[in-house]
């Protein structure tokens, strides 16, 4: 068996096209243009690249982009003041503060200061609680993207055994909750799980989000399972030349692809879905703020 390659890049492009259609509809029918504010603190190179990509795609789908760049030595009070200003700005429907923040800044206070209605990252405790309660909420972008890929591949997830490897508040925990809400039978595995390979072998769905390069081996995978690899790890690649690196996921792709029914590659799998879902969440927030129905294509 050779697994079907789940093309997250193509799916994300389609989702962005749907977002653009909804943005155009909101403008034509209601005079609304969704606005996304992105706050970048400091000069971390990876964060700068990611933020530029977000800004570019925001404009491409017809939304307004508001960029705020602060120095690494900004005070906690100044950062909180900016977030509160954005909360009060009616032109801003979504607020994203790029994490991680420089040392000395309280990330959790920033998360809790962002208006839950504009929390397009889905990290605010109110949105977390709504997700757990099964109430419509702004959902973290990476788990939302994973669910879209799973439902596109499998349709109804009811009764399927799912294993989520990793219990972070950004991916693992919300991913497990989304799967639970979809009536899958969910196990959250982690570094202290006993006989992890045996646990994974029972899964119809495997979501690997542990941050360890190629940890999940091919013989861990149940034949025909669907594997979603959230990991993005940079490792040495001497075959490409001295000092060269390459990206790999948390799953040993070549091995797993010989057993699984479908699998996401790294890169080109889950990664592109994250920004697409950020844009979708901004439209969702805009609709909710104006008492309009949220388009089904933007949610799970």
Residues 235-284 have pLDDT tens digits of 988 888 888 889 999 999 999 999 999 999 999 999 999 999 999 999 99
Q: What is the mean pLDDT of residues 68-79?
A: 97
Catalytic member of 119, 121, 204, 229: 121
| H helix runs in the chain, sequence order | 8-30, 45-60, 76-88, 107-113, 125-133, 141-154, 172-181, 196-200, 253-257, 271-289
What pLDDT sits at residue 239? 84
Catalytic member of 7, 44, 56, 98: 98
121 is catalytic: yes
Q: What is the mean pLDDT of residues 157-186?
A: 97
98 is catalytic: yes
Is the per-residue pLDDT at 34 higher than 90? yes
Tokens coding 257? 């692809």
Q: In 3D, which of 295, 231, 280 has the Cα closest to residue 54?
A: 280
State the pLDDT confidence band at 1, using cuts at 50, 70 and 90.
low
State the pLDDT confidence band at 198, using cuts at 50, 70 and 90.
very high
Counting residues of the chain whose pLDDT is more than 70, the rounded percentage is 100
Where do we find the tokens 């096209």? 17
Counting residues of the chain whose pLDDT is more than 90, the rounded percentage is 92
Is the per-residue pLDDT at 44 higher than 90? no
Q: What is the mean pLDDT of residues 35-50?
A: 92
pTM for the model stands at 0.95
Instruction: Find the largest Cα–Cα distance for the chain.
Output: 57
Q: What is the mean pLDDT of residues 115-121?
A: 98
- At 43, give phi and psi (nearest 5°): -130, 35
Instruction: Report in angstroms the alpha-carbon separations of 49 from 11, 61, 234.
Output: 22, 19, 16
State the pLDDT confidence band at 60, using cuts at 50, 70 and 90.
very high
Is the per-residue pLDDT at 295 higher than 80? yes
Helix (H) / strand (E) containing 4: strand 4-5
Is the per-residue pLDDT at 74 higher than 70? yes
Q: What is the mean pLDDT of residues 124-139?
A: 96
Catalytic member of 54, 118, 173, 222: 54
Please list, in sequence order, all residues whose beta carbon lies within 8 angstroms of the beta carbon of residue 49, skipping any fewer than 6 positions away: none
Positive or negative torsion for Cα 110, 135, 148, 24: negative
The one-character DSSP state at 117 is G
What angle (nearest 5°) sits at the alpha carbon of residue 158, between those of residues 157 and 162? Answer: 60
What pLDDT sits at residue 224? 98
């Amino acid at each position: 068996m050779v697994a079907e390659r789940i093309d997250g890049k193509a799916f994300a492009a389609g989702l962005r096209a749907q977002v653009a259609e909804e943005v155009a509809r909101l403008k034509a029918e209601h005079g609304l243009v969704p606005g996304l504010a992105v706050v970048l603190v400091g000069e971390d190179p990876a964060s700068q690249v990611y933020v530029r990509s977000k800004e570019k795609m925001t404009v491409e789908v017809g939304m307004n982009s508001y960029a705020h760049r602060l120095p690494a030595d900004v005070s906690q009070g100044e950062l909180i003041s900016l977030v509160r200003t954005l909360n009060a700005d009616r032109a801003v429907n979504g607020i994203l503060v790029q994490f991680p923040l420089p040392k000395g800044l309280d990330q959790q206070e920033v998360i809790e200061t962002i208006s839950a209605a504009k929390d397009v990252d889905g990290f605010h405790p109110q949105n977390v609680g709504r997700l757990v309660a099964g109430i419509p909420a702004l959902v973290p972008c990476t788990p939302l993207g994973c669910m879209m890929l799973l439902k596109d591949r499998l349709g109804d997830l009811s009764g399927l055994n799912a294993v989520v490897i990793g219990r972070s508040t950004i991916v693992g925990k919300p991913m497990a909750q989304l799967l639970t809400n979809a009536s899958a039978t969910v196990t959250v595995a982690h570094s202290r799980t006993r006989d992890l390979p045996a646990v994974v072998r029972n899964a119809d769905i495997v979501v690997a989000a542990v941050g360890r390069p190629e940890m999940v081996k091919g013989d861990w995978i149940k034949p025909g399972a669907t594997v979603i690899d959230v990991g993005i790890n940079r490792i040495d690649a001497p075959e490409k030349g001295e000092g060269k690196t390459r990206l790999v996921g948390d799953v040993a792709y070549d091995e797993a692809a010989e057993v699984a029914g479908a699998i996401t590659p790294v890169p080109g799998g889950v990664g592109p879905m994250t920004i697409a879902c950020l844009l979708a969440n901004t439209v969702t927030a805009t609709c909710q703020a104006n008492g309009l129905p949220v388009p089904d294509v933007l949610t799970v």
